[in-house]
Structure 1
């Protein structure tokens, strides 16, 4: 799902205005499903409201559960409140130190940002306990969703990422995905390891992770394939190897292709 900073002014929903209680409100992120994230307040006291309309397909309850579990082991946003009304669901979280790795400050210094993303992802994988994780993000489970989407006619080859269209028809892509590469190890994956979801402190080190709505146990390449891919979108070509170096691993072209295809067909 494509997401970015809003390009046009965004009117805050009433619930966000109510939560703000007179504090400054600024829309900082939106996705193609209509979901919005608002910063409320300023500085170290800032909070964030993630708001998503009913019918968007985004499960904020799932994200809340994952944030609460992961917060016992690593730095993720602390959930302060959650709720729903007739139009949408929302969660309120406490802000974390640092700026998104795709903040303009870090886009001017991609070397530092990319290393923070790679090392931050490695720290996340090494820290979160697989044995205690109740969430599954395995290729097997995700492939079930892809097959259901294909059966419903919801996968359009023309909408697939240009990097992957050469793999052919939807039927051929499903055939490729059926051959799941064996995992050399399992970790608790972020689930959306694109660069924007790593926060970077002023000293250039990673300071936390956000947007963990699909966190779960999987092959680490499920995260790495997407994290490296996202460096192209956010910083331009030439940064994939730097991210893998910071993580401490060599490229695995087979798994990278597999998990990018699975990602592309999952949305």
Structure 2
């Protein structure tokens, strides 16, 4: 698994549309993903995500719909505004009180963070209603973009998946409890292992080896090697 999303370490040029919308000096860059998307903190109370117009995989309009739907049952950001111009699209949300599981505060306590990642994912899966979910993240949906076939999927244990359950997307309160989830642009119905396999895998490059089992323990499940291997391969090729 490769991951190049990170907190910017060099100056970030604020897109013109964002500068006009909130002011260049008000936009503090806090995250850059591998597809060129940017996240800014604005006014200390809101976050603004920006996606370049030439990157169709970053669907902020779709993410706004998913968050609005999921927020009926779980704690995810409240959508304040969504729009686009010729340079790109943006999404403004209210901040959730809490820190990313990869904040230095929690990187220093990986056992606590990884346990919370598993607990938060279990809460998400147990709470969001599959029969009411209008969004799809199934193998069939994702294979449209696959570069190769990976064989038939294992039997599906359907839940509403986060869609990008990597460690940074779980927020923790100061006591280590789950505070919420962010980055829901792929949320949809799928096998629970599509989330679990990636969530546990992501601990390797955020905290180092040895914490996968902590995620499974937090979730309350024994690892399923067949499903883990399948969904990690699917993640890599989609």
**TM-score range, shorter-chain basis?**
over 0.9
Is contact 2:52-2:89 (8 Å) kept?
yes
Is contact 1:23-1:40 (8 Å) kept?
no
TM-superposed CA distance for 1:22, in Å, is: 8.0
Residue in 2 that maps onto 1:153: none
Residue in 2 that maps onto 1:47: 46
1:249 and 2:221 aligned = yes
Residue in 1 that maps onto 2:155: 182
Match of 1:3 among 2, 5, 15: 5
| Structure label with greater radius of gyration | 1
TM-superposed CA distance for 1:23, in Å, is: 6.8
Q: State the secondary structure of the residue aligned to 1:238.
A: coil
- Equivalenced residue count is 235
CA distance in 2, matches of 1:236, 1:52: 30
Is contact 1:186-1:218 (8 Å) kept?
yes
Residue in 2 that maps onto 1:212: 184
Pairing 1:27-46 to 2, within 5 Å after superposition: 27-42=29-44, 46=45
CA distance in 1, matches of 2:46, 2:155: 41
The CA RMSD over aligned residues, in Å, is 1.4
- The normalised TM-score by structure 1 is 0.85
TM-superposed CA distance for 1:19, in Å, is: 3.6
1:105 and 2:105 aligned = yes
TM-superposed CA distance for 1:25, in Å, is: 2.4
Gaps of 5+ in 2: none
Richer in helix (by share): 1
Q: State the secondary structure of the residue aligned to 1:4.
A: coil
TM-superposed CA distance for 1:14, in Å, is: 2.8
CA distance in 1, matches of 2:55, 2:24: 28
1:222 and 2:194 aligned = yes
CA distance in 2, matches of 1:223, 1:116: 15
Compared with structure 1, are the counterparts of its residues 108 and 6 closer, same or farther at alpha carbon in structure 2 (3 Å cutoff)?
Answer: same
Gaps of 5+ in 1: 151-169
Is contact 2:66-2:184 (8 Å) kept?
yes
Q: State the secondary structure of the residue aligned to 2:40.
A: strand
CA distance in 1, matches of 2:169, 2:71: 16
